[in-house]
Structure 1
Amino acid sequence: MKPIPVSAVVEIIGGELVKGSAELLIEYGAYRLKQIKHKRTMFFTNTKIVNWQSVSAFFPLVIVTEWTYRLREIPDGVTIVKVDDMTNAYWQFVEHYRSQFEIPIVAITGTAGKTTTKEMVKHILSSEYEVVATHLSNNSRTELLQNLLRISETTQAAIFETAVGAPGDVLGAGRYFQPSIGVITNIGSHHLNYCKTQEGYIEAKAEMLQVVGKGTLIINADDTNTKKVNLRGFQGKVIRIGKHNADFLVSSITYTERGMRFILHHEGKQYVVKMPGHGEHQVYNALAALAVVHEVGMPLARAIAQLATFRKLNKQLQILKGINGSMLIDDTWSITTTSLDAALHVLNKLGHGKKKIAVIGTITDLGAWGYNIHKQAGEIIYKHGVDVLITIGEHASIMASKAQQLGLDAEIYSFKNNMLARRLLKKIVDHNTVILIKGDMYSDAIHELAAQLRRRREELA
């Protein structure tokens, strides 16, 4: 955060300094108690603090509040700024802070690929720019202020994820970040418990158009649901990535031992691109990242060279040595029908000529749509085909039932927990086996099983 004196904050938010020093420099911000982790934090709150001892380790502390405190209630080390409307004061501060920085700010949304695309952009730009970015996938509403305040005087570019848990989430993030570049990686089926319908989910992702305004929007021209986004009336620049009718056009996609290789066509030139990580979905992530950094101002040749040194994230189609000499593909970062489709495609490519086993957990955040989306997942499994299908969890069994109903030619097992799955896998797995384990980062059962399927260190000796 760019340090700011209390006197400046009082002026910005139209407050009154009730107690404390006007010269105190504020270096952090928070609007929840658990976010106070440092001294010199400014805390916006509608709750009256009674237990000052609980925050005494972080004095000096600045409180922005509507509450009227008796001066004798307030311990030394606490500065109080009184406002009439705390919410209004909060947004006045946020908008003022953002207005201080005229730098490229990128906002990335999408059902799958947000984190990887963001990390690719960060990795490429960091070779020439001072960059801040969302930490891993910490993109919830509660992290938005913290992410904004990571921008400081030395920052030259910023990249943030804008997730959709409900309608309005992208708009909310946009109010903080006011991005000049927006990315929609793809639109699948997710968070239907709050978005209610597929159309509602598409509209929630399309809020990115309002967020970007007259800036640049980067979209996947090959994605079916993204094509449904109404671009009429959008006043900014649209950059399309994909295999057809795209500004960043890709061809000759091939799998290599270490990742993917493809040809990028842009503005009459061709570039050979090599990148770590397997799967065509990774190619789309890379295309989006290259489009972003080129828009920021980095020449494509330099960006492509930097992309080749990118290290893919753990638990995102991570290739490991598995039990009994098998190959393990750990894709337990998250699960949607979009990412499941991509993961099964990779399983079939890497498992060609071998026994292919898919271990799949429940898809979350679907609400009343859970049954239908799990049926769609079963259709995806049937489309790709596997030799052995194992599902873990009650709702995941819907996938197995649908795939079986469609005629999947495979051994099919549905377990409520990971214990029986582990026992079965130890019996049927050998050196000629590739196992895909796919699930949600919040599923303890899936993560435990993934850890158990890794080859133990002592076995490597």
Structure 2
Amino acid sequence: MKPLTVKTLRKVLEGKIIYGSDDWDVSDVIYYKRHDHANRNTMLFVSRNDEINWDMINKKGPSLIVTDKTDIAIPNVANTTVMQVMSLVKSYWKFITYYRNLFQIPVVTITGTCGKTTVKDMIRHTLLETKNVHSSLSSKNEPRRSLPYLMGIDDQTEAAVFEHGLGNSGNIKHQCMIYQPTIGIITTIGVHHLDGCGNLEGYIRAKEEIVGGIKEGGTLILNADDENTKKLRLNNFKGKIIYFGTSGKSHFKAARIKFTDGGMSFILRTGNRNYKAFIPGYGEHQVSNALAAIAAVHEMGMDIKAAISRLKTFRNMDRHLEFSKGINGSTIIDDTWTNNPTSVEAALKVLDSIGKNKNVVLILGDINRLGNFEKQYHREIGSMIAKRKIGTLITIGKKAVEIANQARKDGSTATIMSYEHVNEIGSRVDHLLDEKSLVLIKGPMSSRGMIEFAKRLKR
């Protein structure tokens, strides 16, 4: 955080110091009870209903309490300053707006059912050679992390890139109010979090919140190939729109896409020019991720050739279609990072290309957060599998059994097994695996059992 004097903050928040000194600098900001108070020189927004632990706050002083409590009893706390404001909520947003506007830098935010962490990391990796880049960590994108991430921007930051978490409608709108992005990206809109958004239409509307959250004159980057993205309401967006994909309307278009050693090669066509490109990691969805990242960094002024060159050295996160040697010389594809219908379909398309003449083994776990559409989407995956040449299908979980049942119903030729818990499998699949076996394992991020099972297969 860029340090700010208490005197400055008093003016910004239109507050009144009712206890302590204003002659010191604040270098961290939290919302009390929502964020950890880990540092000294912290400003804490304290609501009327919060019970204040004065001793703890004072021990980590100097501390600044900002509150709209009117009947506040302040003990003898030498390292604590108390500022009273008329409305805590209004003061909080005054501070957010003030702090964000201290920095005239490109801020990219990303949403999408799949690919947002990868695109975020691609952008960061591509820019890091020449810029000081601040970003969200891994896929830790919950709305409550937005304020701490904003506080990570300081005078040395030249660009920032964050991904949006979406659990419920309103989450992305809230995060955009904090980040105030200059560039917004939607990677794909598939199916997820229907329990928090009601249905697919509600989910699309929730993703659409990023459109209204981009700063005036900003840029929106969209997937031209994605059917649900075409349902976005863009009439009121006054900024620039850039499309990426394989379709004719794409400003950043991929052609001659091929699976090669270690990743994907393709031709990038943009601005009447063609560029040879390569991205580590398998699947056409990985090419799509690269197009979104290149479009974003080019919008920030980076040369396209330089961006392509940097992306050649990009390293995918662990458990993102991660290839490893496994039991009995088999090949294990660990895709246990996330699990939703869109990511399952993308993984199956990878198998379509690299699984020819292989003994394909699918191990699929439950897909969570589908609300009332849980059975429908699990069954749709079963139908997808039935159309493919799969040697063995193993489902794990009470929900995933619908995948197995539908695959049987649709005439799958696979050997199909279902288990309620991953620990029931043990070594029962080991005899199925040899040098010709290609094993894809997908499960929910929250399933430690699935992650450990994938590790055992890789050993």
Instruction: Please state which band the TM-score falls in when normalised by the shorter chain.
Output: over 0.9
Q: Is the aligned partner of 1:240 residue 2:243?
A: yes
For residue 406 of structure 2, the aligned residue among 402, 405, 421 is 402
Partner of 1:320: 324
Structure 1 gap segments, 5+ residues each: 456-461
Is 1:217 aligned to residue 220 of structure 2? yes
From the superposition, tell whether residues 300 and 69 of structure 1 become closer, same or farther in structure 2 (CA, over 3 Å): same
Gaps of 5+ in 2: none
C-alpha distance in structure 2 between counterparts of 1:391 and 1:230, whole Å: 38
Which residue matches 1:45? Answer: 46
Query: Among 357, 366, 375, which residue is 1:371 paired with?
Result: 375
Does the aligned pair in 2 maintain the 1:319–1:328 contact within 8 Å?
yes
Aligned counterpart, 1:99: 101
Question: Structure 1 residues 282-291 or 227-236, which shifts more?
Answer: 227-236
Matches within 5 A, 1:336-415: 336-415=340-419
Q: Check the 8 A contact 1:148/1:176 in 2, yes or no.
A: yes
How many percent of aligned residue pairs carry the same amino acid?
39
Q: Number of paired residues?
A: 454
The residue that corresponds to 1:459 in the other structure is none
Post-superposition Cα deviations, 1:142-186, rounded to whole Å, max 9, x if no partner, equal 101011111111111111111221111111111011111110100
CA distance in 2, matches of 1:427, 1:57: 60
Structure 1 residue matching 2:130: 3-state secondary structure: coil
> C-alpha separation between the residues in 1 aligned to 2:234 and 2:389?
37
What is the Cα deviation at residue 50 of structure 1?
A: 4.2
Instruction: Tell me the distance in 2 between the aligned counterparts of 1:365 and 1:32.
Output: 29
Change (3 A) 1:30 1:383: farther
- Distance in 1 (alpha carbons) for counterparts of 2:336 and 2:358: 22
Q: TM-score, normalised on structure 2? A: 0.96
Divergent runs of 4+, >4 A:
none
Root-mean-square deviation (Å): 1.4
- 1:458 maps to which residue? none
8 A contact 1:345–1:384 mirrored in 2: no
d(CA) in 1 for partners of 2:228 and 2:159? 30
Distance 2:19 2:431 in 1: 70
* Residue equivalent to 2:180: 178
Q: How does 1:115-194 map to 2 (within 5 A)?
A: 115-194=117-196
Q: Secondary structure at the match of 2:157?
A: coil
Please say if residues 348 and 356 of structure 1, whose CA atoms lie closer than 8 Å, have aligned partners that are also in contact: no
1:9 alignment partner AA: L
Structure 1 residue 229: Cα displacement? 1.2
- Judge conservation of contact 1:263–1:271 (CA < 8 Å) in 2: yes
Would you say the 8 A contact 2:58–2:78 is kept in 1?
no
Contact 1:110 1:163 survives alignment (8 Å): no
**Deviation (angstroms), 1:32:** 3.7
Distance 1:36 1:365 in 2: 32
- Range with greater deviation from structure 2 (124-133 or 55-64): 55-64
Going from structure 1 to structure 2, the CA distance change for 1:345 and 1:196 (only over 3 Å counts) comes to same
CA distance in 2, matches of 1:52, 1:299: 53
State the AA in 1 paired with 2:144: T
Residue 417 of structure 1 is matched in structure 2 by 421
Describe the SS at the equivalent of 2:426: helix
